[in-house]
Each structure stands twice: as structure tokens, then as C-alpha cells.
Structure 1
Amino acid sequence: MHGPDLVSWLLAALTAASGGYCLSRLRRAPCAAVAPAVPGAVPDARRSAVPDARRGAAPGRLHAHEADLAEGLMGFGMATMAVAGTAVPGEVWAWVYGPPAVLLVLAAARWPDRRAHRLHHAVGALAMTYTALAMSATGDHAAHHPAPGSPALTGALLAYFGGYALWSGSRLLSGSGGTAAVASAGLPRACRLSMGIGMFAMLLTM
């Protein structure tokens, strides 16, 4: 493979690996919350604190699983789109990514916790739908639509994902810690960075 074909396969490999890692994180064991021992505290008070800690930990695990699922879907979708091109109709991608985008927007409006994270995934899902529909229009009417889509919308998405890639990359480079810190924070950030770059590269071809 040469030129764009090689770039497409490299992009597919990168995003598929990132998506696979995100989905593999769904299998991680839930953290067991244990109340710290307080000198002089009676046993009943210490036992009663454990359910509260567990209740507080459950939403965190739910949010993490939600993010991993959204990022895994994004990674595998970009990999498939980079390889298959217009073989999959744009309407199929709209049905795959449209409902999750709507649910994420509604969840962000309903619950303020992690609102920015949900809106980021919603923008990603909508960008996937937009790119797929534009690619489908190019495949059907290449002679009549050399530059499909809205230039303003494409430019806005390019600016967003380009800025996100720079911000995510700066966080990755500024991170410090040992091997455990890299495994728990650095690798997920690297996957998000690769998917941001992948989305930017896909939009750049439009």
C-alpha cells in the first residue's frame, strides 16, 4: 500500500488498538471501598461508613464505564470507516452514532457531574455521523460534490479536535509518576489523544 492507503491502514490500526484498550477496561474489577480505621471510633460507626463509601464509589465506576464504552465505540468506528470508506452507507453510521449522541447530550443536560466529558463524547459521535454522511455523498456523486459538507462546520470540528489533541497531549507530557501512574492515567490519555488525532485526520481529508 502507498500514499493514502497506507495512511488509512495506519489510522485504522491506531484507532482499533485504542478502542480495544478502552473496551478491555470495562472488565476491570470494581474497587472495593473500605472505610479507614479511626482511632477511638466505635465499631458500629466504622461499619456504617462502609456503605456510604461504596455508594460514593459506584457513580465513579459507572462514569468510567460510560467513558470507556463511548471511546471504544469511537475507536472501532474510526478504524472501520478508515478501511471500509463508503462501503458502509452513511445512514448506517447515523443510526450507530446518532442515538448515543442524543443520550449523551440529554445526560449532560440532566446531570452536571462530568458534563464536559459527556459533551465531548457527544461531539465525537456527531462528528462521526457528519463525516460518514459526507463520505457517502462523495462516493455517490464525486463529480458533483468535490468538497461535501459545510466548510464552516468542518472548520469548527477541525479546530475543536485539533485543540483537544494539543490539550490532551500537553496533559500527557506534563504527567508525572511511576509505572502505576502511567498505567492508570497515562495510557488512557494516550488513547484519547490518538482518537482525537484520528478524528482530526479524517476531517482533514474532507
Structure 2
Amino acid sequence: MSLSSSVSAWLLVLLCATSGAYCLRRAGRSGGGPAAGEAAMGFGMALMAVPLRLGGDWQTPVLGAVFCAAALHAVWLLRGGPHHAHHLVGSLTMVYMALASGAGTGGHGHGRDAGLPLLTGLLLLYYAGYVVLGGARLVTVGGPGTPAGPGEVIRACRLTMGMGMLAMLLTM
């Protein structure tokens, strides 16, 4: 792994962990809900993005189980309406990436040939659209000099995780 890709990976870890921490704080105040799932997603993405394999092949099954649980939580949230479908897509994407990264290189890191090209391409399109639309919504919220409110910070956190997903999919 080159120095620049290692630095990029650690920046992605930091970004995802920070988003996870913010969502965890939000979940503590609101009693869980979507923020708890977003916190799990942020921390899981941070762990998956760590460029070092931390002792053995435990990461693939553990991350797979965590994101399967997050997918079940997202299905539960769908009772409240289809606006929670993104959480389900995100959780299933993380299951896919955990399995593909473990299988693609014998469980020792992200492999270039890991995953199904068509599925990876569709997920790349989904997250590219999500990031572009999320960025456009964030830009149109306030004008220059307008202080960011809690709604904008939540949108920025979600946009950050969408960009992280896009970056992780690009490495597959």
C-alpha cells in the first residue's frame, strides 16, 4: 500500500468515526431510532476502512453480523415509511463489502477483484446520485454567513457517510 493510499484510508477512518460519534451523540439524546443505525454504520465503516488487518480473519464475520443486524433494524424502521429505505440499502451494501473484502483476498484486506462488477457498479451509481443530491440539498439550505443548524449538521453527516461508501466501493 502506497503512502498516499494509506493516508487516504486513515482519513476515511477518521471521517467515518467522527460521523459515527456525532450520530451516537444524537442517538443518546433522541433515544435511538435512525441515529443509532447511522452511528453503527459510521463506526463499522471506520473499522472496515482501517488499512491494517488486525490479527486474523475475525473482521469479515463480525462486520457481516453487525451489518446484518443493522439491515434488520432498517427493515423495522421501514414500518414508519419508505424514507428509511436508504438505511436498508446502506446496511446491505456494508454486508456486501464485508463479504467481498474477506472473500476477494482470502480475508486479508480489500481485493481489487472482490465483488460482483454489476452489483458494485449499481451501488456506485446509487451512492454517486445520493452524494450529488445530498450535496445540492446542503448547499441550498443556507446562504453565506448563515450559521449551520442541527439539520444541516445531520445532512452533512449523512453526506459524509455517503461519500465514504462511494470511496469504499471504488476500492473494490
The TM-score, its normalising length taken from structure 1, stands at 0.72
Residue in 1 that maps onto 2:42 = 75
Whole-Å separation in 2 of the counterparts to 1:191 and 1:23: 12
Residue in 1 that maps onto 2:170 = 204
Contact 1:162–1:200, Cα closer than 8 Å, also in 2 = yes
Please point out which of 132, 141, 149 is paired with 2:115.
149
CA displacement at 1:2 relative to structure 2: 1.4
Q: Aligned Cα RMSD in Å?
A: 2.1
Contact 2:134–2:159, Cα closer than 8 Å, also in 1 = yes
Residue in 2 that maps onto 1:136 = 102
Whole-Å separation in 2 of the counterparts to 1:122 and 1:84: 26
Please point out which of 136, 160, 174 is paired with 2:140.
174
Whole-Å separation in 2 of the counterparts to 1:122 and 1:149: 19
Identity of aligned residues (%): 40
Contact 2:23–2:39, Cα closer than 8 Å, also in 1 = yes
Quick check: which has more Rg, 1 or 2?
A: 1
Residue in 1 that maps onto 2:60 = 90
Which is bigger in relative contact order (C-alpha 8 A, separation at least 6)? Answer: 1
CA displacement at 1:150 relative to structure 2: 0.9
Letter in 1 for 2:5: P
Please point out which of 142, 156, 163 is paired with 1:190.
156
> Does residue 69 of structure 2 align to residue 103 of structure 1?
no
CA displacement at 1:99 relative to structure 2: 2.3
> Does residue 26 of structure 2 align to residue 14 of structure 1?
no
Letter in 2 for 1:137: A
Whole-Å separation in 1 of the counterparts to 2:45 and 2:81: 24
The TM-score, its normalising length taken from structure 2, stands at 0.86
C-alpha deviations, 1:85-115, integer Å up to 9, x for none?
554431211111112203322442xx2x342
Residue in 1 that maps onto 2:91 = 125
Letter in 2 for 1:14: L
Give the unaligned 5+ runs of structure 2.
Answer: none
Give the unaligned 5+ runs of structure 1.
Answer: 29-60
